[in-house]
Amino acid sequence: MSHDIHTLYFSSMFYDLMVSQWQTTGTHTQREISLEYCVHMTSKRL
């Protein structure tokens, strides 16, 4: 797998930012999707 500690670290930071923005309106499913998206985009960058 291409995931390493750095990928997980950066994706978790993006996830925290998105969750903080969506926390009041986002559902649990949307948060999971946002996490998938962050991991996907971070994997493409690194």
Q: For 8-44, write each residue's pLDDT tens digit.
A: 677 777 777 776 666 555 555 566 666 777 777 777 7
What's the whole-model pTM score?
Answer: 0.30
Rounded Cα distance between 17 and 9, Å, is 13
Show the domain range for 15: 5-45
One-character DSSP codes across 6-31 = HHHHHHHHHHHHHHHHHTTT--HHHH
Instruction: Report the number of distinct structural domains present in the chain.
Output: 1
Rounded Cα distance between 3 and 32, Å, is 18
Residue 18, both tokens: 């998105």
* Model pLDDT, residue 41: 76
Rounded Cα distance between 35 and 32, Å, is 5
